[in-house]
Structure 1
């Protein structure tokens, strides 16, 4: 047994005494971008295998509690000829040996440490320790010293990355005497400028976006002229962008004595509506002595075969072009019901556990790409609030929210206490992957497409969890989204048992959780912005996935019977004119004041309003859903709705 212990000790001593690994350089904060941050490790001997080591990042803030927030297992990785191993963000140059998501490294007061062990030894929230510690660096960006974390790691100092008050990027660099200095970053190289100097290769293109049919000149440039022909391969395929989408050589040769060459790729202009795609230029193996200054360069290839819908955007709404795909008997159970009984009957339909499906939160990206597709360009989505289009490809990543879109909960997650189930919600398994649900499944409200919309990422953040009425959209918004969100909220509070819509703006207290305001505002938005073709198409697509519909889009007058002017009255969806012909028309609100909305199921025609003496006071045409302005005295009026050779009379009351 003694000999075994001696053998283990000898191996460890040999492994770490003659190949000690330290934190050589750290850049935790890069102004205006978090894509260029990096951690550089250095071994005493070159080409050192990092098996058995783990990199751990510790959070020194009050909320972090001097515990781990990230651990990276280094098994299988090796330092280079200079003993360097670079770990960093997607825009670090030269290309890191191991890529991190942007903004992984916190600014401080925090710590970076190397341990003997594995990533599973340091689950998130593990308190810092000196056990099996090889090296550690405490760092900050003008933050007070965290003496508690320093003590836990056995350190005597904390290095300020901003100590020079330099507005440009600087890094913390280890010197030969084991002290540190702050100066211009040198990722991928020894801090004193010594060692093997690699010849860097850079990929450039004139543009970052091209159209189908364009020629793309890809320029490859080395730092210094090559002393012999430099030949390597690249790939440019990526997901749906395949070899049939381009022509041209992907073999690259920079001739002796030169430092640049251009390869031209021709993008095929086909007739397929395949959506915008991304070409990715990626290095294959490159010869010894060279390094990649960048890699995986992405170019947007814009598809010119997009389609335009036969209906309009919410800013230019059309009505009657998109018909409901609801089964003919979908709303029959609501016939003749009122008040709470009516609301419960709606819930029984839209939350039926025997029929209704729930998809993962990851699937919502695909659902919204279809349901919120812009009528003007099938390769783009229409954004709530900002009332603009954005390419489907520009879905927000982990932290980048500029010029991207993401998933907006019209009923804020924090107010509804919607939860995640990571094993399910993180997986996008398509329309065939689903679970059943019920009225109490608030976790499923998190991924209910009727309550989610494509939204500008920054505007989504600005809205936060404000109540509607507190939040009225960005400056310049024309309000084409207001009725949409009202009906989305009305659906959710009917669909899920615990959610409520109330008057006013309840404060953020425990008693106000699951309450959203303002009901009066949402009723007004619903009445002034009736459902259009865009919303009906959206309802149809979501129904195809979830097997439930938003009744307040199909039957917008239902809102008045549950929250509005017709509370207490029985709701009816039938209006017989003739045994052989059924015309369905609804008017709401009724009683009315300034306006009334006529809902005509796919019909077009004319409407006339007469006073009690039979005098015509209003004449106008209608199309599916029509808002009729009323500038009339209080009293009883008759409305004649004419379609083809048939007319229907309805009574309306003006308050």
Structure 2
């Protein structure tokens, strides 16, 4: 399970209150093997006015993207690298949870009026925040494990998921399921080889999960247990950064004024022995 807080020598800078630019290009998610479509029902919550004007999503290919090295991290590893990464990206705009959800469902993960669940591949036609009984917001790092305050609204670890998959995952750690109790579209829930109850995302989202958790651990000074970290580092290599993930990172930067450095350069994770 994910456990809180490791000491960090660097003090996290205060939140930046700068406003985000008005227009943001949206991204095309990775392909899913099995997709169904459902509509937002009449119980869907009415969302405030969209923060930005939606624009047509660029059609980006699903392919591996070469890493972008940053000279600020040259020669650094372990805690020294964690500190440098923290100093570089922890200062960002706190959008607030309602605003973050609005962005996810109307622009960031909305492509031509459709939002796709990152676990099941189910699609939702919507132009507003849907009913949580239909599609919800997945906190890759669970709220019950420390995703509170500004962390609750941090887009770098938030993704759209249908309500059933969101409920199944709950706050269980991620891992490789060997005894399946539930599965859909490659997502699985059950127990791993050690008998732990874990949730396994589909292959197309495994790397995204790993890089989101590496980011969260670095920015919010949270430790990742060794067993979890080993699996995440495997997934980071298995599901490499693609153009869609880079485009999402770019888009989030326009809202929060910070990036996930593990998307820019996934190899950074290998230079940290213990998150």
TM-score range with shorter-chain normalisation?
Answer: 0.5 to 0.7
Residue 536 (1) aligns with residue 246 (2): yes
CA distance in 1, matches of 2:171, 2:72: 35
More helix by share: 2
Q: Is the 8 A contact 1:387 1:480 kept in 2?
A: no
Question: Which residue of 370, 391, 406 corresponds with 2:125?
Answer: 391
**Residue pairs, 1:283-322, within 5 angstroms:** 307=56, 309-312=58-61, 317-319=62-64
User: What is residue 562 of structure 1 aligned with on the other side?
Assistant: 272
**Structure 1 unaligned runs (5+)?**
1-208, 210-238, 241-273, 276-305, 420-442, 505-517, 568-655
User: What is residue 136 of structure 2 aligned with on the other side?
Assistant: 406
CA distance in 1, matches of 2:93, 2:115: 24
Q: Is the 8 A contact 1:385 1:481 kept in 2?
A: yes
The alpha carbon displacement at 1:331 in A equals 3.1
Question: Which residue of 83, 93, 108 corresponds with 1:371?
Answer: 108
The alpha carbon displacement at 1:470 in A equals 6.3
CA distance in 2, matches of 1:339, 1:503: 14
Residue 465 (1) aligns with residue 176 (2): no
Residue 485 (1) aligns with residue 209 (2): yes
Residue 474 (1) aligns with residue 173 (2): no
Q: Is the 8 A contact 2:64 2:240 kept in 1?
A: no
Residue 444 (1) aligns with residue 183 (2): no
Larger radius of gyration: 1
More strand by share: 1
Q: Is the 8 A contact 1:451 1:488 kept in 2?
A: yes
CA distance in 2, matches of 1:563, 1:542: 28
Q: Is the 8 A contact 1:449 1:542 kept in 2?
A: yes
User: What is residue 332 of structure 1 aligned with on the other side?
Assistant: 71
Q: Give the 3-state SS of the residue equivalent to 1:347 in structure 2.
A: helix
Q: Give the 3-state SS of the residue equivalent to 1:455 in structure 2.
A: strand
Q: Give the 3-state SS of the residue equivalent to 1:390 in structure 2.
A: strand
Q: Is the 8 A contact 1:459 1:474 kept in 2?
A: no
Q: Give the 3-state SS of the residue equivalent to 2:252 in structure 1.
A: helix
CA distance in 2, matches of 1:486, 1:559: 9
Question: Greater relative contact order (Cα 8 A, min sep 6): structure 1 or 2?
Answer: 2
The alpha carbon displacement at 1:394 in A equals 6.7
CA distance in 1, matches of 2:267, 2:71: 15
The alpha carbon displacement at 1:555 in A equals 0.6
C-alpha distance 348-380 of structure 1, shift in aligned 2 (>3 A): same
User: What is residue 381 of structure 1 aligned with on the other side?
Assistant: 115
Q: Is the 8 A contact 1:396 1:457 kept in 2?
A: no
User: What is residue 145 of structure 2 aligned with on the other side?
Assistant: 415
Q: Give the 3-state SS of the residue equivalent to 1:474 in structure 2.
A: strand
Q: Give the 3-state SS of the residue equivalent to 1:469 in structure 2.
A: coil
RMSD of the alignment, in Å?
A: 3.0
Question: Which residue of 340, 347, 351 corresponds with 2:90?
Answer: 351
User: What is residue 430 of structure 1 aligned with on the other side?
Assistant: none
The alpha carbon displacement at 1:396 in A equals 3.4
